[in-house]
C-alpha cells in the first residue's frame, strides 16, 4: 500500500524544521484523535527522518486506530528490520495483535519483549492482562507478580493486581489490594474509586462514601478505618452528627493538603507566602511613605502593623465567601456539614499568616522597635481576630448560596472596611465625638490593639478587646445555630 502525500503545512521539498518541532506536529494530531491527519503527517515525516524509530511506530499506531491493520503491521515490520533492538516496536506489535484478537500471537511477541528487554514493563504487565483475557489466571498472577517485583514504583502492576481481584468478584481481597495501591500511590484515583465500587458490592455503602471523601481530601481521612465487614459499623460509621474531634481532624487535613497543593503550583513554593504580603506592603510603603510623604516619623511601622493583620482578614473573607458553593459536589455525595468549607479556608490562611506575622516582627526589630513584655498581648489579640474572622467568614459563606449576587459585593465590602479601619491614618485625625463610632467597627478596634502592642509598647485595651470577643462569641453561637438549622437545606440550594 503506497503512502499518501498529505496536503498540509509543508512538503518534502521545504526546508526541514527542527526535529522536536516536526514530531510535535504529528503528535498534535494524535492528541486530538485526528488519526487520518496523523497518519498523513507521519507518512511525510518518514521521508524526512527515515532513521528515527518514532516516525514508524507512531504511524503504525495511527493506522491501527483507523483499523488499517495490514498497513500498521507493514510499518512495524519495516521498523523491525531497521531497528531490531527497539522495545517499542515489539510492544506496539503485541498491542496490534491484542486489538485484532490474536491473543496467542500477542503472548509470543510479549515473550520476545521480555527475553530481549527484561526491564521493559509492558512485557510483564501487558502479558498479565492477555493471560487474564484468555482465562489463564495462574499465568496472569505470575506475570503480574514479576511486574510488581521488577517495577515496585510503577502504579500499573499494582492497579492490575487489584483489578484481578475485582474481575474475580473477590471484593474483600480487592479492598485489601486497593489499600496497597493507596499506600503506595496516594494520588492515584483508582485506589479510591474502584475500592468504593468494591465496598458497594460488599454492601458497605458507608465505607464507599468514606473512600470517595478520601479521594477529595486525602488518604489521611481513612487512617484507622477498616473495610472488614465485622468492624465496619465501629470503624467507619458516619453518624448524623460527627464528633467534634473527627470534624476538626477533617478540616485540618483538608487545609494542610490545600497548602501543599498551593505551594507545589509555584516554582518558589512556600516563599510566595512571604513575597506576596511583602510586595503588597512595599506598594503601600512607596505610595504613602515615600511619594505622598504621609504620616511623619514612625508612620511605616504604624502602616504595616495595620496592613498585615488586615490582609489576613481580607484574604480569608474573599477566599471563603464562595466556599460552600464550590463544595456542592462533595456535599451531595457524602453527609458533611457545610460549616466545613469556610472553616478550611480560615485554617488554611491562618497557617500562611503565621509566617507573615514572623516577618512583621523581624521588620519591627530592624526598624528600632525591639520586643517588650507587652508583645505577649499579641496572643489574645490574634485569638480574638481569629474568632471574629471565623464568624464573618462562616456568615458570609452561609448567605451567598441563598443570595448569590452578594458575592459580587464582598470585595467592595472588604475594601470599605479597609478604608474605615484606620490603616492609613492615625486616631488623632478622627474627631473625638466620632471615635466611639469608629471603634464600633471591630476590625478598627483590633488594629488599634496591635498598634498599642507593637508601636506604643502598651498592653491591649482589655475592655475594648473584651467587647469584641463577647460579640464574636455571641455571633459564633448564632452562626452555629443557623448552620445546624439549614444543614439539610444547603445540598438542594447550592444546586439551584
With bands split at pLDDT 50, 70 and 90, how would you rate the model's confidence at 20? low
Residue 169 has pLDDT above 80, yes or no: yes
Q: Which residues of 184-196 are buried (b: 16+ CB within 10 A; e: fewer)?
A: ebeebebbbebbb
pLDDT in tens, 249-292: 778 877 777 777 766 666 666 677 777 777 877 777 677 666 65
Residue 239 pLDDT? 39
Tell me, what's the pLDDT at 94? 86
pLDDT at 439 over 90: no
CA distances from 325 to 52, 226, 227, 328 (A): 52, 31, 32, 5
The answer to which of 195-209, 286-300, 430-444 has the lowest mean pLDDT is: 286-300
* Neighbour count for residue 323 (Cβ, 10 Å): 21
Q: How much is the mean pLDDT over the chain?
A: 80
At residue 204, the 3 state secondary structure works out as coil
Residue 217 — very low, low, confident or very high, per pLDDT cuts 50/70/90? Answer: low
DSSP of 148-160, one letter per residue? HHH-TT-HHHHHH
**Per-residue confidence at 234, pLDDT binned at 50, 70, 90?**
very low
What's the pLDDT tens digit per position in 385-404? 999 999 999 999 888 888 88
Query: Where residue 467 falls among pLDDT bands split at 50, 70, 90?
Result: very high
Q: Which residue has the higher pLDDT, 369 or 1?
A: 369
**CA neighbours closer than 13 Å in the CB half-sphere of residue 329:** 6
DSSP 273-320: HHHHHHHHHHHHIIIIIIIS--S-TTHHHHHHHHHHHHHHHHHHHHHH
Count of positions (residues) in the chain: 496
pLDDT over threshold 80, residue 17: no
Q: Which pTM was predicted?
A: 0.53
pLDDT of residue 265: 63
Report the pLDDT value the prediction gives residue 326, as an integer from 0 to 100.
79
Identify the pLDDT of residue 471. Answer: 92
Q: What is the mean pLDDT of residues 60-88?
A: 88
pLDDT at 220 over 80: no
Amino acid at each position: 500500500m503506497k503512502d499518501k502525500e498529505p496536503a498540509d503545512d509543508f512538503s518534502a521539498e521545504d526546508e526541514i524544521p527542527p526535529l522536536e518541532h516536526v514530531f510535535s506536529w504529528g503528535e498534535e494530531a494524535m492528541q486530538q484523535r485526528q488519526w487520518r491527519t496523523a497518519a498523513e503527517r507521519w507518512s511525510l515525516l518518514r521521508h524526512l527522518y527515515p532513521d528515527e524509530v518514532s516516525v514508524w511506530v507512531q504511524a503504525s499506531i495511527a493506522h491501527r486506530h483507523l483499523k488499517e491493520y495490514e498497513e500498521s503491521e507493514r510499518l512495524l515490520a519495516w521498523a523491525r528490520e531497521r531497528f531490531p533492538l527497539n522495545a517499542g516496536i515489539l510492544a506496539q506489535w503485541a498491542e496490534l495483535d491484542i486489538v485484532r484478537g490474536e491473543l496467542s500471537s500477542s503472548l509470543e511477541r510479549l515473550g520476545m519483549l521480555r527475553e530481549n528487554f527484561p526491564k521493559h514493563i509492558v512485557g510483564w504487565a501487558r502479558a498479565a492482562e492477555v493471560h487474564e483475557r484468555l482465562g489463564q489466571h495462574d499465568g496472569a498472577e505470575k506475570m503480574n507478580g514479576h511486574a510488581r517485583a521488577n517495577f515496585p514504583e510503577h502504579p500499573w502492576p499494582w492497579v492490575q493486581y487489584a483489578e484481578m481481584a475485582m474481575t474475580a468478584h473477590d471484593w474483600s481481597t480487592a479492598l485489601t489490594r486497593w489499600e496497597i495501591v493507596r499506600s503506595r500511590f496516594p494520588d492515584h484515583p483508582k485506589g479510591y474509586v474502584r475500592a468504593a465500587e468494591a465496598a458497594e458490592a460488599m454492601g458497605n455503602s458507608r465505607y464507599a462514601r468514606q473512600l470517595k471523601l478520601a479521594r477529595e481530601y486525602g488518604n489521611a481521612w481513612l487512617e484507622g478505618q477498616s473495610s472488614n465487614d465485622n468492624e465496619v459499623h465501629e470503624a467507619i460509621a458516619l453518624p448524623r452528627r460527627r464528633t467534634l474531634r473527627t470534624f476538626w481532624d477533617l478540616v485540618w487535613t483538608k487545609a494542610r493538603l490545600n497548602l501543599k497543593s498551593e505551594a507545589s503550583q509555584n516554582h518558589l513554593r512556600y516563599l510566595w507566602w512571604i513575597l506576596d504580603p511583602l510586595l503588597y506592603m512595599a506598594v503601600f510603603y512607596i505610595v504613602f511613605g515615600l511619594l505622598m510623604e504621609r504620616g511623619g516619623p514612625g508612620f511605616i511601622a504604624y502602616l504595616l502593623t495595620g496592613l498585615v493583620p488586615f490582609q489576613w482578614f481580607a484574604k480569608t473573607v474573599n477566599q471563603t465567601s464562595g466556599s460552600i458553593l464550590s463544595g456542592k459536589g462533595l456535599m451531595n455525595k457524602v453527609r458533611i456539614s457545610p460549616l466545613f468549607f469556610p472553616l478550611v479556608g480560615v485554617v488554611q490562611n491562618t497557617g500562611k499568616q503565621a509566617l507573615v506575622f514572623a516577618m512583621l516582627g523581624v521588620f519591627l526589630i530592624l526598624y528600632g522597635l525591639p520586643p517588650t513584655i507587652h508583645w505577649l498581648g499579641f496572643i489574645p489579640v490574634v485569638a480574638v481576630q481569629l474568632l471574629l474572622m471565623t464568624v464573618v467568614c462562616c456568615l458570609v459563606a452561609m448567605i451567598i448560596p441563598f443570595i448569590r449576587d452578594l458575592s459580587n459585593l464582598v470585595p467592595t465590602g472588604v475594601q470599605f472596611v479597609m478604608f474605615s479601619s484606620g490603616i492609613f491614618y492615625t486616631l488623632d485625625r478622627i474627631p473625638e465625638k466620632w471615635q466611639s463610632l469608629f471603634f464600633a467597627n471591630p476590625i478598627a478596634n483590633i488594629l488599634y490593639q496591635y498598634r498599642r502592642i507593637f508601636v506604643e509598647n502598651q498592653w491591649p485595651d482589655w475592655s475594648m478587646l473584651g467587647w469584641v470577643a463577647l460579640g464574636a462569641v455571641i455571633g459564633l453561637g448564632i452562626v452555629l445555630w443557623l448552620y445546624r438549622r439549614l444543614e439539610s437545606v444547603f445540598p438542594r440550594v447550592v444546586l439551584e
